[in-house]
Amino acid sequence: MLGTRTIVVDIDNTLARPNSLVPLPYVERWIKEMRIRGIRIIAVSNNSKERISAFCRKLGIPYIARARKPLTFRSRERILNSELDKNYTVVLGDQVFTDVLFARMLGTLAILVAPAVKEESLFFRFKRALERIVLKDRNWCR
């Protein structure tokens, strides 16, 4: 992350438990540290504006709600045209098929983190199984 100026961050299962308005214990301290280092944080989420605005207001970070990740048409212009340079921007998230693919489509680096909690729904079990297959191919993750 050397030279990073902006971190585009997912919320659910990255900064908070899914659908929670309460940040994970380390998040406020991490955001404060990033600000001290001059790194800007922008939250990008597929969730509703009502939920995301309430969460991000508490942390004092800008956001893009209903982003439709991994598609970039709703957020590319706002992210890349707001004094941000994609060469110094990274996307941080917990899902390969939304966050990592979103970063690739933006032309930025991705940082894949372990999800905060294990989601047990059939949809997420299937999705995580597919992610494990993709992650075995290290060339895809570059």
pLDDT tens digits for range 58-73: 999 999 999 888 887 6
* Stronger pLDDT, 27 or 74, i.e. the higher one: 27
Among the four given CATH numbers 3.30.460.10, 3.40.50.1110, 3.40.50.1000, 3.30.565.10, the one describing domain 6-117: 3.40.50.1000
Q: Which of the 8 DSSP states describes residue 86?
A: G
pTM for the full model? Answer: 0.82
Asked if pLDDT for residue 142 goes beyond 70, the answer is: no
Residue 20 makes CB contacts below 8 A (sequence gap 6+) with none
**The residue to which tokens 């509703």 are assigned:** 48
Cα–Cα distance measured from residue 10 to residue 15, given in angstroms and rounded to the nearest whole number: 7
* pLDDT band per the 50, 70, 90 thresholds, residue 140: low
Report pLDDT for 44: 93
Asked if pLDDT for residue 80 goes beyond 60, the answer is: no
**Would strands 89-93 and 63-64 be described as parallel, antiparallel, or unpaired?**
unpaired
Dihedral sign of CA atoms 94, 99, 101, 103 in order: negative
Q: What residues does each domain of the chain span?
A: 6-117
